[in-house]
Chains A and B, each alone.
Chain A
Amino acid sequence: MDNNVIDQSKDITILELLDRVLTKGVIITGDVVISVADIDLVYLGVKLMLSSVETMEQLKAGKAIKEI
């Protein structure tokens, strides 16, 4: 079994990064804030990425279950 648990895969790193920067961190709301349009659309793309990562990880995990 691979002992390297720190993930180096580009997909997961980008997914985790986008999830954080689009939905976490300090947020400012109110009338004085300039809004950026379409951030929701970018996050929708992140959710789609999550689905593909899940499928990939599901395949890996499925293989592990068969092996035990």
Chain B
Amino acid sequence: MRTKPGIPLLTGIVLLALSPLLAEAIIRRPLAAGIRSDDPTASEQRNRSAFAIILGNFRSDFSDLIFIKTERYLHSGVGFVPHLDTEAMSNTGEVKQKGAPGSQYEHDPATCTDPTHHHDKDGHDDHESTTSGKAGAAPSPSQVMEANLATPEMRETAELKPGEKRVEEEAEGVATIVPTRNKDFRGFVGDLERAVKPWHDPSTPHTHTAGTELLPWYRLATMSNPNNIRAYMIGAWWLKAMHKEKQREEAVKFLDEGIQNNPKAFQLHVMKGVILREQGKTTASLEAFLVAADLGLAQRPVNYEETTGTVASSQTWTHYMEDDLTAALNFSVLTVRNAEGLGPALRLAKQFQARRGDIPPLNALITRLQSGGGAAAALFLKP
């Protein structure tokens, strides 16, 4: 028995027309922590795997592609064994390196030859958390905040305009994905690849290029995954680092979009507050810091172990988040101090302390405020 050819076609058209109704049946929920693209630890591990290195640009996830692009764009296209700490970059903008399989780089201050690492910066070692009390004397709130926002190296790179370059004075010693001649079994083919692809001998200084060229990739990353908080943070940092009012406004707009998509991401509020503060919008920046502090305090696990930077019950609270929360608290308190005086600032700090009493930098700040502001606090947040 033959079916009329028009019937299957008509059925198909009707089904296609009805397909939007399926969207109503989809349960929409925000990405939970731990889901593939949203979990920074999983992302780092994934992108350092041999398989990821082999695949190169073939990635299923835009956030993974961004990982590759960031590595390549900052190094003039040279493919290094993944070594940038994107978690640190999202919080500090710092081009910080991590040891990687096959890398000649070791994360030991005694042997580290990386000029981007300051083992004694502001009285602490940047191999460790910038949270106070890790090494030597506790840094002041301003030092914590400055360390959290930008390193001199990063500022220098960020100030490069598109098309400009800066040659490192010393070699970083990080292994390249295309191996050196003496480690390459491919002979003639390897020679050709080293000539055709962006490559340089790891033992020689290499060239850094403008990180602002990465901004379109971060824009696309947030379009493809609006829950990519790290892309919002790094993108905003690069915009802020351009030191232009127009770009600061773009950064605030970008962060507002991020906040709209991720209302509980307190880091975005901190970054927004910092940029608004740079714009001289004190009231708006205080508002952002207070929201950040409120959200951060609500999310901080009760049993966060300050000394080790680990959380017993949750793997989602990193020391960078702790630093961001500390920044939010400090900025809130010190902005109030500058605007309204010591009394209201102290009251606000004690309110924060009452909610979570186990934040050493906050305790230290309260002590300083109680002693009349203190020299360290006076350096911070000049009106």
Instruction: Check if A and B associate.
Output: no
Chain A contact residues, CB within 8 Å of chain B: none
